[in-house]
Structure formats: structure tokens, C-alpha cells
Homo-oligomer: A and B are copies of this chain.
Amino acid sequence: SLQIRVRSTSSLRSLDRTIVGDVPFKDRHIGPNDADMKEMMGTLGYENLDAFLREVIPDRVRSNRSLNIDPPDGQTEAEVLDSLRKIADRNDSSKKSLIGLGFHNSITPSVILRNVLESPEWYTSYTPYQPEISQGRLESLFNFQTLITELTGMDFANASMLDESSAAAEAMSLAFSVSSKSGAKSKKVYLVDKRVHKHTIDGLQGRARGLGIDIVLVDALAADLDGAEINEVIGFMYQYPDTEGCLRSYTEVCAAVKAKGGIVCVAADPLALTLFEPPSKHGADVVFGSAQRLGLPMGFGGPHAAFLATIDKHKRRLPGRLVGVSKDRLGNSAYRLALQTREQHIRREKATSNICTAQALPANVNAMYAIYHGPAGLKKIASRILLLTTVLKLGIEAVGSGRIVPSAHGAEYFDTLVIEMDDAEQLITAAENECGFNLRRVGAHAVGISLDETIGLTDIAELLKLFAGFSNYSKLISDSFIEELVNKALVSGRPNFLKRSDEFLSQDVFNKYRTETEILRYMNHLKSKDVSLASSMIPLGSCTMKLNATTEMMPFTWKGFNALHPFVPPRQATGYTELIQSLEKDLANITGFDAVSLQPNSGAQGEFTALRMIKNYLKSISEGDRDICLIPISAHGTNPASATMAGFKVVTIKCDTRTGYLDLGDLKSKLELYGSRVGVFMVTYPSTYGIFERSIVDAIDMIHEAGGQVYLDGANMNAQIGLCSPGELGADVCHLNLHKTFCIPHGGGGPGVGPICVRSHLSRFLPTHTYAPFADKDAISPVTSAAWGSASILPISWTYIKLMGSSGLKKASIAALVNANYMARRLSPHYNIAFRNENGLCAHEFIIDVRPLKATADIEAIDIAKRLMDFGFHAPTMSWPVPGTLMLEPTESESKTELDRYCDALIAIRGEIAKIETGISPRAGNVLKMAPHSQLDLLAEQWDRPYTREEAAFPLPYLRERKAWPTVTRIDDKYGDQNLFCSCPKF
């Protein structure tokens, strides 16, 4: 027979590459083509790219190695999709996981899948800091908040947390901050019921250590809190239903804790809350949990939105983002992010939380899921699950195979049963191998089963057959047997205990979009209000709003990646293992480090994780007294916040106000001052001012000489790949934002992944996880609910790297530098470019300093930002890192045409400002002060402005063809903060 099935050899593959065909992906990803690049070099006055690069990046910083990505020239989109399918196929998505523990099978309605999760208009938008062009997603997040307050019975909920684990930690922090604000600094004990999920308790440990809290596990059922130690208690946490499936109220324990000023925090299942009394009835001050089962796939752990809600009294302590209602210039109501002044970029080391990127996109899916089902629909789904659980319980009792936990204690149950039986191990094995079910191993002699909205009677029948096989039950598990059980369950009904009786979700929005047509139009209408990368460039400095290519995004919604429970046996997830290892390898290569953890699900989470590791490392080398973290004043607010949370004291290092460079003198004097207390130096490179600082290597050397570790904030990695690297600079650790540099879209404020890359001496401290196949004895406790945080978006970054290859990645970095410098050059006759290096160049971003315009024209950064909306553009980063300025990062993905269009807009605005300066336009009520202009505003009957309607709407010709409208006029921030509405009032 023929011997012909030999697939591609690598030599044929590279020969094949020499035969040009389709445009390579890198040229789809990178905006300027070679001719554009040449033209831009001309504008900048350089012979060629090399000459330019030599003047952007200091020699001592520039890398002299090549990246080592396989294949070096990148795969084609077709090839990479093929590889991904094979990887996805190696994950066993055919098994039905009934493991529970916060992760459940769930049905994402197709219409929401396609029109939100797979829609670039939703997933490529940024956090809605510019509310006038973000009313769509703000409304949706507001719906999420309303959903959560209604389900939990709390007064305020934020716009999502990273996951249940970090929400638990934030709840504890809130309790801590309440008690320390009340002067009780000595209180340090946090009681946690032992029936909280183990991985949630694990996730609390790192945060507790950082804050100096003692976590005390208690059996809340038996707890006798009359003793003296109750005075030490900052709070008490329990779960509802708990890890054994029981719902209990613990009213007495709660009352005792509260009587002494403690805070009650409850981890709750949002679907259970549709049928069971909300914890607000039992004294809860904080309710948190994961909203995953409201319409999101498990995704091997994430991304999912968690929620955190609290009572009115603590509303200003809610971490993260909060959408509120305010009004615009015309008095129309409008959404915006409320209480922004609480954020860590303002409060820095005084912040109590470091959460920045959250889970906006998943939260929007949750909100739409709830809107589509409505209160009655959600109740029906939950009731069905409860009924099936009852049927299963009656069945197991009938076949007599084990002792069931919820009934034993007289507690209520919802979807989870724990069955104690000798043969638990064997049953779990049989379930996996013979029935295709993953059940939960609860110790050696119990099995857990959690049902969900995908389960039917057929599954129940199979489960009962399985149990019957492990008991003495000899009769047939027939259809009529099942029918009897169903009738019995129906007849017995539900006890009144803990039964929810109040109405919830009666608001209009949850009761009118019941058909696919209606919800499609609602989602479509919301997205039409927003500016995203699908409409125009978003040059947010430090945010790297680059292309999120469709090929990168596709695997995220494939079953092979999104159907897996995070705690399946590793043999069922070999595709993920392969992808994760490959991504870790490439990221280590790119950063010049030795080991990587993909666990942290945001940049800030990465910071916290790495700092905890450094803490433990220092302790391990008997340098545990090094408790100081040096941070330049220009750092992102999450740096000092993370450092504080990790147990460091923050000392600020100055920067030169003229050059933006790190003040090495100040660094030196702080090192002298704090000497052996210096634990770590956290620095962003290229600096947040957008400069490749020459002195970085000196600074790093100084820290190392002083015995400290160097942490490099990798937010600006997009300027570096293939050109230099944190590892080569000499740093010990860095975090990356895959949702910046590596193409995970921002999703309107998350999800993200913030991996940490470390030098070998730190690798044994990389975080572990209860359900992960790795666990170094020195590993720090986990920071996320799942071992690999937001696993199902890792294929995005993997795909990007494989598509670009070494050469493409490097080319992208260069284009990012060229694009930024080209824009700076075009704008420099019109605006003051704040910081440049000695050759007059910036890195991949730059700051325009508009502060002088305050005096000459009464114009501030915000006026320019709002006027840009009239040009169809999103503003640059406002007032960070320097207050009153604008920072632009075009990224490599923007074409020269688009850069020019943005420059033209800014130049036209400068012209409008000049008219104010010369007195042609008034200082008040001019087109900038009145910006942005909505349709309602411009079509008003009366018109007595010093400019025409057309000047307001179409200041440049391209707008006549392509205009994106702000849907409201300028929003009143103060009014909104003073009158805080963060959820829909009852209908």
C-alpha cells in the first residue's frame, strides 16, 4: 500500500513561505505599510528606521538578541485556526461537569453570544471614562448593578469584580476598612465559616497576610461567640448555599458579630437568590459571588464577572467601578462612572483596593441574560434546577447508596448534594468513564453533584443508574420510576423556610425584551451609542488600544475552550495545558525572564501577586524586614495600592518635572534613608511619560546593590517587544497586560489577564491553586478562583503571538514607535509636547501639555476631550500621569490615514482655541465649552450660540460622510456624585 500520508516538513513549509500569496497577518495588523513608514521617516527626518530607532532607544537598553517564537515568520490565519482546532480538540469538552463550586454549565442565548460576546462594537470599547460616547455600555452595566442589588437585597452593587475569590478578598478588605476607620485598629480577626469553598478561603490568605488579618475558620453552626474574642472580630463570612449545598441563615451569629461592630459578608449564588431569601434579610452587610451561571460559559475558569454589593452605609467603600445616573447640560438623565475620586489612581497607597480592569464584558452578558429571561424566567430556571435536585435526592435515597448532606442537617438545598459513601472514589471514576459526567470529589468518602440549567431528566436517570450500581438496589431505573420521583417531588413541594417572597426585578428593562427580535434591537441600539475601535482610533495613552483581530477572538467562543469546568481532571484539559505552556514559553522569551504565571486576571492582580511573591522571597532569604516599596510619583495608581495591599510601605520617588525622568538623586537619597528596609522598586518602562529613559539601568543597579528587588510594570511592553526587555534591563519581575500588548480586547472595562514573568530565583513562589497540578511548597496562595484565572481568553494572546512570529512582533513595536513620533511631530507646531528625549523623540506614546491654554483661552484638557467627540473621536488619556494633560498612544495598528485624521481634528480644535485667544470667540459658551453636541442639542429650535450648527457638527469635511454622535451633552459629574443613583428604582 501507498506510503503517502507524510505531513508538512518544516523545510517545505519555509520554502512555501517564499512563494508569496495572501497578505501576511502582520501586514493586516500593522497600520502603516512600508511606503507609509518611509514617508513618516521623511517627516521625522530620518534616513531609515534604524537611524530612527537608534535615537529613540538608548544603546544600553536595546536588546541584542532575536526573539525565538516558533514559527519565526508567523503562521497564516488559516494555519493558526487549524492549530487551534487541534488544540481545542485535545480538551475533552464532551464531559458534563457537575462539579459546581462556583462554576456551572450555563446556556448563553445565541443572540447574546453573537451580538455581545462576538461583537467588536462591544468587545473593543474601553472603560467608559468618556460617558457621552459610552451611554450604551454604561446603561448595560447599570442594568448589571440593578440585577445584583435586586437579587442580593443590597442597596449598592458595583459594575463587577474580577472573580469570586477576589470579591471575597475585597469584602474582607471592606470589613477591615470599616473597622479601622471606626478606630478599632487592633481588630484583626476575620471569621470564616468552614463551609465556604476551599479555593475561596485560599484566595483570602494572601490578602489577609498583606493586611495583617487573621483568618479564623469556624463552624458557624456550632459557633459560640459570647466569648471575649468577639471583640477582635472585624467580620464574619459564610456561603449561601455553602460548599455542601446547604442554605442557612446564621441570624444569631450575624447579630452577635454586628453587635460588636463587625461586618457580615455572604458569598451567594445569584440563581439561588431567585428562590431563596436574600442575605439582606439575615443581616448581611456585604453580598458577593460569581455571576457566571447567568449566561456565561465556564471557560476553564474565566473570564466571568463577580459581583459585590453592600448596604447604603458602606456605599462609598465599594471597590471598583460604579455606574451612576447624572444629568447632562440639557438636563437629560445620563449615565457615568460615579465616585471616580475614590479610585486608586487618585488615592494611591491610601486606596483600599487596587482593582482597575474588571469584567465589564461578562457583566454585560449577565445583564442581558437576566433581561432576556426576566424575573419569571430566572425563577423558572432556578425552580427547575431545584426540582431536579429534589428528584435526584429522592432517587438516591430510594436506591439507598449514601447519606445526603443537606437533609441531614435540616438545611435547605438548591442545586447541590453531597453524598457520603464508601465507594465515592469508584463512583466518581465510573461517572467519568462510563457516563461522561465529572462529579466532585469531597474528601475520600463523599461525592458532590451540582445541577444546572442544562440538566434534564435523562441525566438524572443516568446518575441514578450509576448510584444504583453502587448500592444494593436491584430494580430497574425505569422511566416510570423517574416519573414517580418527579410526582413525589412535585407533591412534596417546598418548605417555607428561607423561601423568597418579595418581588424583584420589576423594573421595566427586565420585563420587556422577551423575544429575540426585541433584545436584538435593544443590544443593537445600545451599541450604536458607543464609540469603539470598530468606529475610530482610541489613542488612550498607557492602554494600547490596538487591533483585536477576529481570528484571535474566534476560539474564545468555541466549545473546545469554553465548555470546560476549571477543576476537571488535568487529563481532560491537555489542549489547555499545551496552549498555556506554549504561551508561557513565548512570554518568558519576550520579557527575557525564566518563568511565568498566567493566573492573575488583571494587571493590578499581577502586581499584587508578584509583590506577595517578593515578600515571601525576602523572608526566605532572611530579609523579611525589607518592608519598603519605592515607587516613582509617575506610577499608575494601582502600583502603590497593590504595594500597600501586599504589606509594603510605599515611599515615593520624584521625577524631573521638565524631562519626566526619574530623579536618580532622590532615589539615591531614599536608598540612603531607608537602606536595609528597601524591599522592592516598582517602575514602569518606558516611563509613564512615554520616554525610554537612559538611566533605567543605573536605577536598577542601585536597587540591586541596596539589596532590593526590581519590579517592572509592563503596561508599556508594546514599545519593547523585540527591541528590549525587562529581563535584559535587569529587572527581577514584571507583569504584562495581555489586554493591552497581547490583543485581548478591553471589553469596555475587562476581562484582562495580568501574567507575571519572573527571574528564576522567584519562580518557586509563583502562585499555586487547590485544583491545579502544580504546587511548589514555597508557592504563594492563589489570587484567583481558578488555577489559570481567565483561561478561555488566553488563546487570544497565543494566537496573536503565533500569527505575528518574531519578526512581526518586532515590526509592530517599531511601528508603534513610529506612529507615536509621527503624531507628536505633526502636532508639535500646535501643541506643547510635554516630554521628549534628548533627540526630541518619544517612545510609543506622548503627552501634550494643554495647561497653558487655561490662561490664554480658559480651555482645559476636558474641553478638548469633549470636543474631540464632535469629531467622532475618543479622547486620549486625560490627566494621567500629569494632571491637566492629554497622553496619546496610537499603537501600531492605526494607519497613517487615521493618524492624520486624528491630528487634523486636534489641529482644528487648536484653531478653535486660537479664535478664543484672539477674541473672535467668547471665553464662555464657545464650541469647546459647549462640547460635545448631541442631535437634540443641535436641532433645537432656538439658536443663539456664537457658532453655527454646522460648525458644531461638521467641523471637518470627513464628518459629513462619517459622523459618530455623542448621545448626550456634557454630563454633570458633581451632580451625579451628590445624588448617587446606581441602580434602577423599582418600577
Is B939 in contact with A22, judged by CB distance below 8 angstroms? no
Q: Could you tell me the distance between the alpha carbons of A120 and B110 in the complex, rounded to whole angstroms?
A: 12
List CB contacts (< 8 Å) of A966-980 with chain B. Answer: none
Shortest beta-carbon distance from A948 to chain B in Å = 5
Q: Could you tell me the distance between the alpha carbons of A111 and B461 in the complex, rounded to whole angstroms?
A: 44
List CB contacts (< 8 Å) of A104-135 with chain B. Answer: 107, 109-111, 113-115, 118, 120-121
Contact partners of A453 in chain B: CB under 8 A: 21-22
Contact partners of A27 in chain B: CB under 8 A: 514-515
Contact partners of A622 in chain B: CB under 8 A: none
Given contacts A4-B434, A22-B377, A550-B113, contact A482 B15 (CB under 8 A): yes
Q: Could you tell me the distance between the alpha carbons of A551 and B112 in the complex, rounded to whole angstroms?
A: 11
Q: Could you tell me the distance between the alpha carbons of A383 and B524 in the complex, rounded to whole angstroms?
A: 42
Q: Could you tell me the distance between the alpha carbons of A166 and B267 in the complex, rounded to whole angstroms?
A: 64
Given contacts A115-B120, A516-B29, A551-B110, contact A7 B939 (CB under 8 A): no
List CB contacts (< 8 Å) of A1-51 with chain B. Answer: 1-9, 11-13, 15-16, 19-23, 27-31, 33
Is B950 in contact with A940, judged by CB distance below 8 angstroms? yes
Chain B CB within 8 A of A935 CB:
yes
Is B516 in contact with A28, judged by CB distance below 8 angstroms? yes
Q: Could you tell me the distance between the alpha carbons of A521 and B895 in the complex, rounded to whole angstroms?
A: 12
Q: Could you tell me the distance between the alpha carbons of A388 and B15 in the complex, rounded to whole angstroms?
A: 12
Shortest beta-carbon distance from A115 to chain B in Å = 7
List CB contacts (< 8 Å) of A354-410 with chain B. Answer: 373, 377, 380-381, 383-384, 387-388
Q: Could you tell me the distance between the alpha carbons of A714 and B534 in the complex, rounded to whole angstroms?
A: 41
Contact partners of A107 in chain B: CB under 8 A: 22, 77-78
User: Majority SS of interface residues in chain A?
Assistant: helix
Contact partners of A897 in chain B: CB under 8 A: 512, 518
Chain B CB within 8 A of A472 CB:
no
Chain B CB within 8 A of A882 CB:
no
Chain B CB within 8 A of A941 CB:
yes
Contact partners of A381 in chain B: CB under 8 A: 21-22
Is A78 in contact with B948, judged by CB distance below 8 angstroms? no
Convert A926-954 into 0s and 1s, putting 1 for each residue whose CB lies closer than 8 angstroms to a CB of B.
00000000011011110000001110011
Residue of B whose beta carbon sits closest to that of A20: B380
Q: Could you tell me the distance between the alpha carbons of A207 and B960 in the complex, rounded to whole angstroms?
A: 48
Is B377 in contact with A462, judged by CB distance below 8 angstroms? no
Q: Could you tell me the distance between the alpha carbons of A940 and B950 in the complex, rounded to whole angstroms?
A: 6
Is B430 in contact with A550, judged by CB distance below 8 angstroms? no
Chain B CB within 8 A of A457 CB:
yes
Contact partners of A939 in chain B: CB under 8 A: 938-939, 949-950, 953-954
Chain B CB within 8 A of A536 CB:
yes
Is A22 in contact with B380, judged by CB distance below 8 angstroms? yes
Contact partners of A521 in chain B: CB under 8 A: 534-536
Given contacts A28-B516, A381-B21, A536-B521, contact A12 B458 (CB under 8 A): yes
Contact partners of A8 in chain B: CB under 8 A: 456, 458
Contact partners of A435 in chain B: CB under 8 A: 4-5
Contact partners of A16 in chain B: CB under 8 A: 456-458
Say which residue of B7, B380, B533, B549 sits within 8 Å of A458 (CB atoms).
B7
Q: Tell me which of A21, A113, A469 has the highest count of chain B C-beta atoms within 10 A of its own C-beta.
A: A21
Is B110 in contact with A554, judged by CB distance below 8 angstroms? yes
Say which residue of B15, B109, B554 sits within 8 Å of A483 (CB atoms).
B15
In addition to A9-B479, A12-B457, 15 A-B residue pairs with Cβ atoms within 8 Å of each other are A1-B434, A4-B465, A6-B461, A13-B456, A16-B458, A28-B515, A77-B109, A110-B551, A114-B554, A115-B120, A120-B524, A512-B897, A935-B935, A939-B954, A940-B950
Chosen A-B contacts, 9 in total, with CB atoms closer than 8 Å, are: A4-B469, A8-B458, A12-B457, A15-B483, A518-B897, A935-B935, A939-B939, A939-B953, A939-B954
Q: Can you list the 10 inter-chain pairs with the closest CB atoms, starting with the nearest?
A: A110-B550, A21-B384, A8-B458, A4-B465, A110-B551, A16-B457, A111-B550, A939-B949, A2-B469, A524-B534
